[in-house]
Structure 1
């Protein structure tokens, strides 16, 4: 049984099949110049042992300019040594020869989609396997405080004379038969289909992820690197962002990485991240987490010898730069938003709308904490905006009259806090322009509510409940700025006087922007925004606002349009102020109003009597 394939196909070795797949990738995934550059880069970087040329860990780290202080080089080498074995993953770690480097670059830059069209467009499982390790002792002591990481021996450069024994992640565990059907990797299977390899060999080569974990410390280092590389363009040098890993900036980067890591694992109780949690969280909270690899590994496709941006009149010894110099990611950092927070936002929002594309429209610490100040700064911005608010969590018992007054304006609290941290940062992404909400909320299904600190969490919009954003002011409505709360319509007389109605998943501010509250009613399964996939329980955080910012996503064109709109409104207001009515001549007064464009056509202008 299972002997149908021809003898010549059965006779092909794994090495021959690997080279055949590498050739397919080379033909379909690279231009001639890119492949020439890849060979040239490999030739200049490779070490040689006998007749084998290969790349070492420190060589790759130096070429990609990975900062030593991050400690991420062993993690990256662990990944590429695994991915280089594709599709025969059970043979990892492998020596990184040219064919293996092709596999790595194609997978890391997502170019495999050009060839493996029937395969999964998601490399999540493959990347998990490249990061994971298997250690039964660690798994058995998962709840212990000492969750020590497995040995680093798998990360070392393999001897070119020894037969690879495979990564520990590919060793099967016991008692996991019920998960066997879930282990098929679409990318691996479609690669074997491309090579006309039979089903028996497919099944034998599909690697398992039973009892595998990504060590917490390894993943922390990788997150820091991915945050650093998030804005990286293919021809940009990672070293151009060296200021982000120096002194206080390094601490800010590490703190941001901890917030991201907290979404995956409780570092106090678990030594690592399991695949089930990994595959659930990545698409929901961090769809762009690995986008930084694209720009980073594209560097292998740009040879310095073919850098057309080099000036012919450069003097000898003068440094040659690949591509353009990095421009500041932010014009000026805010009280909340800095370059690391911007990278964190890019993990779930499109980076093309963020890096070098945001400008501060409103800051409470500069313009004043009031709805009027916010309105004067952000209305008429015709592009998406990001609201950020941070503060210190309030105690359950109000301290002072203002806290007590805020507490009495909310429904009684009967749920715990969302975390142990005293510091909280929330935000919202609003695609539509801001406006007054007289009778219904504004926003669309692209509106996103999120938390950045102390744990990264994202609450996407519902398409059924559309109470996305409320901005109301007297006299028509009670003053209110909220996200996910029912609109405070004047007809809602049944509500208690002065009591805010909180949505199932909502963020609300008091009218003076002194206090805020984030409510998460998990049992309700959400309202205008979906509940958390990380914290499956009810919680509520009431906090004193310390910083409130609104950033506009857009460039000079958007700023010009906003300025023109403001100028037009100022001219209209000035025209209204200059109108001198009350002369007793009704016809003359009406003519004056028509000239000002205030009445006439469909405008009645009210009674003139």
Structure 2
């Protein structure tokens, strides 16, 4: 009997008490004692007061985090944190941001909740969607009327009214694929489970399928995320203000537009639905919200605390976090890669391998557009590389002679263009060193084929088809660089010409680096790279290459290794040049070259006559 009463006692605890207990649990187990002390000091120094209530205002948070006014994102961030502060009872949002509410905000924004919740692997994507979303009033009214008419009661609290929302008034068109119409919030359930209070979970939030993030709001947030992407521990956002003026600001907006296009066609739909959000982020933008971690960690470090002294006057064993080294995020700006595109790459590639770690290995504008110059600059780099290519779509049918000649090497075009924009940017992340291929492609499942403009999307490798990369020089029938295409066969001696074999999802660059073609044959079901999950149709972009560059992921050690490899090959080449030939005995000279491994097999030593 007593056991039953004990088990039921949690049912009568108020949501306010549960929120208090969860905040206390998070504060003790998610923050170190020093972080908690700093957090208390920061909150006290920032808080406004109304009677006995201490709270943070919108402009206070924006000023403390150094969020720039030019983006116009402060109110959107405040909307987010006002919702997250109510966790795990989102239906009570927006809330006044007192101390306990800010504990919730910081724990969620820095992903420290994983230290407490039993199901810590659950991500915060759905929670962040709700924090950004607004709800369609008409849909909510219809939902409420239907519940009354049907006498249905799908909520735990048996309320006969339309569900509450923290933001109202955004009318949207219904999407055909809203499969995520679930009221349960995984993180909220896990939080209540950690308190043994799962019984009090209330389905009071509006159905998530009736919610949408306004496209303009999401664009502004993406601009902020592009800015904060490179932040290190305790690095101030104000250090990157140079990205907020002139051409860099226009580039920031353009990059945000390309990323927004991954979620929604803004010309047709005014907002992003949960299905699109949950589909795009895991595949193409898994690290999109990573910049929130260092940004909100600023609340855990107080500038009023002297970390160099202890009470007894001795030196403190713990020092303040060191600031980032004063070296540029990007050693030099390329024709394609700049700080905005670099941040865009960090949304799906680990930032620690990008910021302050990239060096330009090859640029077609500097070294020349040829396979030979590419090989000279890129081969022997023993760390991952990123290839970027940009260009302008060629007309269909082609008008110029060179365009027609390139099109003649391809199968007849059967697919539509990917969009209205004529300018396109594609790329490949490759973890293996480059080398020439003769019969088979190389690469592994870590390779990523992606588009950056006009739509951001990542095409992951398939494990079934392994035609990842080829680098084919003559005498291949169709020399060049292919990603996702079968390796070209040796040049045929007959007068019959064959078209290049394009993969289902593939990028092909011709041998002169004049033209390229990206193919997405959705109907075929994919090849070495998987089909798009959002653009479920066939398209193909044939383009004239404007810029081509390859960036090496690595630092001085990788560069030195490449230099040593080049030096070794140069010594080997010099040794070959010193071989004493020309004695008149052709057979003896050939035997000498074969013993040296310079000719024979797939190698050719050239003419012996």
TM-score bracket, normalised by the shorter chain, equals: 0.7 to 0.9
Which deviations, in whole Å up to 9, do the C-alpha atoms of 1:190-218 show, x marking residues without a partner?
Answer: 1111122142x214456631411001111
Q: CA deviation at 1:586?
A: 10
2:71 aligns with 70
1:135 aligns with 136
Cα distance in 1 for residues equivalent to 2:374 and 2:139: 52
Cα distance in 2 for residues equivalent to 1:238 and 1:394: 41
Say which SS state the counterpart of residue 25 (structure 1) adopts.
helix
Q: CA deviation at 1:11?
A: 4.2
Q: In structure 2, do the counterparts of structure 1 residues 382 and 121 end up closer, same or farther at CA, with 3 Å as the change threshold?
A: same
Please list every run of at least 4 consecutive aligned residues from structure 1 whose deviation after the TM superposition is greater than 6 angstroms. Answer: 178-181, 491-495, 584-599
**Native 8 Å contact 1:120 1:187 kept in 2:** no
Say which SS state the counterpart of residue 304 (structure 1) adopts.
coil
The TM-score with structure 1 as length reference comes to 0.87
Say which SS state the counterpart of residue 580 (structure 1) adopts.
coil
Report whether the alignment pairs 1:240 with 2:258: no
Report whether the alignment pairs 1:511 with 2:511: yes
1:219-230 map, 5 Å: 219-230=218-229
Structure 1, 182-191 or 11-20: larger mean CA deviation:
11-20
1:316 aligns with none
Q: CA deviation at 1:234?
A: 2.2
Cα distance in 2 for residues equivalent to 1:181 and 1:368: 54
Q: In structure 2, do the counterparts of structure 1 residues 583 and 212 end up closer, same or farther at CA, with 3 Å as the change threshold?
A: same
Cα distance in 2 for residues equivalent to 1:212 and 1:181: 10
Cα distance in 2 for residues equivalent to 1:405 and 1:594: 40
Q: CA deviation at 1:329?
A: 1.1
1:51 aligns with 52
Q: CA deviation at 1:473?
A: 1.0
1:378 aligns with 378
Say which SS state the counterpart of residue 81 (structure 2) adopts.
helix
Say which SS state the counterpart of residue 216 (structure 2) adopts.
helix
Cα distance in 2 for residues equivalent to 1:17 and 1:285: 37
Q: In structure 2, do the counterparts of structure 1 residues 562 and 495 end up closer, same or farther at CA, with 3 Å as the change threshold?
A: farther
Q: CA deviation at 1:280?
A: 1.0
Cα distance in 2 for residues equivalent to 1:495 and 1:40: 81
Which deviations, in whole Å up to 9, do the C-alpha atoms of 1:497-525 show, x marking residues without a partner?
Answer: 14211110111112111111111100111
Please report the RMSD computed on the Cα atoms of aligned residues, expressed in angstroms. 3.4
1:449-488 map, 5 Å: 449-475=449-475, 478-488=478-488
Q: In structure 2, do the counterparts of structure 1 residues 596 and 480 end up closer, same or farther at CA, with 3 Å as the change threshold?
A: closer
Where structure 1 has 5 or more consecutive residues not aligned to the other structure, the ranges are 141-163, 311-319
1:299-448 map, 5 Å: 299-306=298-305, 308=307, 323-324=323-324, 327-448=327-448
Where structure 2 has 5 or more consecutive residues not aligned to the other structure, the ranges are 142-162, 310-319
Q: In structure 2, do the counterparts of structure 1 residues 592 and 442 end up closer, same or farther at CA, with 3 Å as the change threshold?
A: closer
Which deviations, in whole Å up to 9, do the C-alpha atoms of 1:30-49 show, x marking residues without a partner?
Answer: 11011111111001000010
Aligned length: 569
Report whether the alignment pairs 1:287 with 2:303: no
Report whether the alignment pairs 1:82 with 2:114: no
**Native 8 Å contact 1:209 1:275 kept in 2:** yes
1:33 aligns with 34
The TM-score with structure 2 as length reference comes to 0.87
Cα distance in 1 for residues equivalent to 2:494 and 2:232: 56
Q: In structure 2, do the counterparts of structure 1 residues 598 and 261 end up closer, same or farther at CA, with 3 Å as the change threshold?
A: closer
Q: CA deviation at 1:495?
A: 12
Cα distance in 1 for residues equivalent to 2:509 and 2:179: 47
Which deviations, in whole Å up to 9, do the C-alpha atoms of 1:418-462 show, x marking residues without a partner?
Answer: 010010111111110001111100111011111101111111111
Cα distance in 2 for residues equivalent to 1:190 and 1:592: 74
Q: In structure 2, do the counterparts of structure 1 residues 111 and 591 end up closer, same or farther at CA, with 3 Å as the change threshold?
A: same
Cα distance in 1 for residues equivalent to 2:423 and 2:263: 19
Q: CA deviation at 1:253?
A: 0.3
Report whether the alignment pairs 1:105 with 2:122: no
Cα distance in 2 for residues equivalent to 1:416 and 1:587: 58
Cα distance in 2 for residues equivalent to 1:225 and 1:209: 25
**Native 8 Å contact 2:179 2:275 kept in 1:** no
Cα distance in 1 for residues equivalent to 2:169 and 2:307: 44
Q: In structure 2, do the counterparts of structure 1 residues 192 and 449 end up closer, same or farther at CA, with 3 Å as the change threshold?
A: same
Which deviations, in whole Å up to 9, do the C-alpha atoms of 1:117-151 show, x marking residues without a partner?
Answer: 225521111000000011335999xxxxxxxxxxx
1:313 aligns with none
Q: In structure 2, do the counterparts of structure 1 residues 194 and 495 end up closer, same or farther at CA, with 3 Å as the change threshold?
A: farther
Q: In structure 2, do the counterparts of structure 1 residues 97 and 542 end up closer, same or farther at CA, with 3 Å as the change threshold?
A: same
Cα distance in 1 for residues equivalent to 2:198 and 2:185: 15
Say which SS state the counterpart of residue 375 (structure 1) adopts.
helix
Cα distance in 2 for residues equivalent to 1:509 and 1:452: 17
Cα distance in 2 for residues equivalent to 1:79 and 1:496: 63
Q: In structure 2, do the counterparts of structure 1 residues 212 and 493 end up closer, same or farther at CA, with 3 Å as the change threshold?
A: farther
2:561 aligns with 561
Which deviations, in whole Å up to 9, do the C-alpha atoms of 1:462-494 show, x marking residues without a partner?
Answer: 100000011011236642211111111239899
Q: In structure 2, do the counterparts of structure 1 residues 308 and 498 end up closer, same or farther at CA, with 3 Å as the change threshold?
A: farther
Say which SS state the counterpart of residue 225 (structure 1) adopts.
helix
Which deviations, in whole Å up to 9, do the C-alpha atoms of 1:319-359 show, x marking residues without a partner?
Answer: x9983465311111000000000000111111111111111
1:587-602 map, 5 Å: none
